[in-house]
Amino acid sequence: MKSNKHKNNKRIGLIIAFSLLVLLLVGSVVFIFADPLGNDKASTDKPETTENAGKEQTNENDTIKEDEENTEKQEGVEDSFIDIQISAVGDVMAHTNQIVAARNNPEGVYNFNSVFEKVKPHIEKADLALANLETTLAGDSREYSGYPLFNAPDALADALVYAGFDTIVTANNHSLDTRAEGLRRTAEVIEEKGLDAVGTYKSAEAANERFLIKDVKGIKVAIIGYTEHLNGLDSQYSTEEVGSLVNKIDKEQMITDIENIKKQEPDLIVAYMHWGNEYTREPNTVQKDNAELLAGQGVDIIFGSHPHVIHEAEFIEVEGNKAFVTYSMGNFVSNQRRETLGEGMEPTEDGVIVNVDVQKNEQTGEITIENVEFIPTWVYRYSDTGGAPYTYKILPVEEALDDEVIPGDIKERLKNSLEETTERINMSSSEIKE
């Protein structure tokens, strides 16, 4: 009976062993396929997908950021501007007493510099400074003289250089006082001194271009000058000869000239007009009509002289073009005054420096007049003896009123001059902004 039990126990052991082996094999297979330790692929795939997504997101963000920066740059671009100041004065005359005064010095040579000493700081700061020279420079082969036939020493041109002017308008009613020879020499002398002459010509060839083009700090300025009268002296010449000597106010000719100017594509057109009636206090209809003609043709700034007294200044708009006009700037320097012309002629002592601030937008090319300033001036004439030779000084009125050296009676005249000038210009202050 003992042997049968042993056999049964052995059989059971084999079954258990076999079962354990099967379980071991099945567990191994499950372990292998489950691969709890072999997570390289899974861990690699997941970070790789995140990294790629991150890179794509970064690239997209960079593109957006770059676009935003470019937009900001374009929106943030600031326009750049060129600013210039154009200054102009009225009549620079040389009466006989002025010529005598210019030689009243130890050297005994003509020198007009001291006349302009007080206004020099105002003129020389301008980028473009214009004056009307109402005398000829015919040389010493002719007698130096004042009214009615003007001929001044070349030293007057030197004084204009000293004062800071660079462009001299020579078209006026006294242009032919020393005939064609004197007119041509006047233009020659001015150019020899390094100045530009406008309105008269040193030769018939030079008259082919009836205007001046100047580059002023990057702003292309065209300048033309005309005179209404030549005191009848032009009757000695043919129409063609007169045209080769001086610019006379003629509507058809001015339109043609401006059309030719426009072909040069200037940024700005400036006209200097010698017109009107002497000693009148208001511009006449001819001045007004010619100003409108010029503005309608595209002229931007119009300076006027000849009446010897100050007229009003204003902005006018014609056919969409706005122009600044000062109809007469009075005498910058002369011997005309109360003492020589009588009571009521005090305004001939007055003048004005007109400063026009011009701005160009370099991106759009647009030109604007930003500001207009008036500096009233007065001609101070005095002598130690009470008679000739006199000393002449052009005084900026408001500065002179604060000068303790100026006598009290002269300051009263200065105050009257300032009041008259302000009223004539028709501006409530010495400065206007457009």
pLDDT, tens digit, for every residue of 140-198?
999 999 999 999 999 999 999 999 999 999 999 999 999 999 999 999 999 999 999 99
Helix (H, G, I), strand (E, B) or coil at 360: strand
The one-letter amino acid at 348: T
Out of 17-26, 375-384, 416-425, pick the least confident. Answer: 17-26
pLDDT at 61: 56
CA–CA separation, 361 and 81 (whole Å): 5
What pTM was computed for the model? 0.82
What single-letter DSSP state applies at residue 113? G
Contact criterion met (CB below 8 Å) for 99 and 143? no
Could you tell me the domains of the chain?
Answer: 81-425 (3.60.21.10)
The arithmetic mean of pLDDT across residues 330-346, rounded, is: 98
Neighbours of 176 (CB within 10 A): 25
Find the helix or strand (DSSP H, E) in which 332 lies: strand 331-333
DSSP percent split of the chain into helix, strand, coil, nearest 5: 40, 25, 35
CA–CA separation, 327 and 414 (whole Å): 22
* Residue 130 in this model has a pLDDT that exceeds 70: yes
User: Predicted confidence band at 75 (pLDDT cuts at 50, 70, 90)?
Assistant: low
Residue 277, class by beta-carbon neighbours within 10 Å (0-12 exposed, 13-18 middle, 19+ buried)?
Answer: middle
What single-letter DSSP state applies at residue 390? P
* Residue 19 in this model has a pLDDT that exceeds 90: no
pLDDT at 170: 98
User: Predicted confidence band at 22 (pLDDT cuts at 50, 70, 90)?
Assistant: very low
Share of the chain above pLDDT 90, in %: 78
What is the end-to-end Cα distance of the chain in Å, rounded? 137
pLDDT at 39: 45
CA–CA separation, 186 and 169 (whole Å): 11
pLDDT at 430: 43
User: Predicted confidence band at 354 (pLDDT cuts at 50, 70, 90)?
Assistant: very high
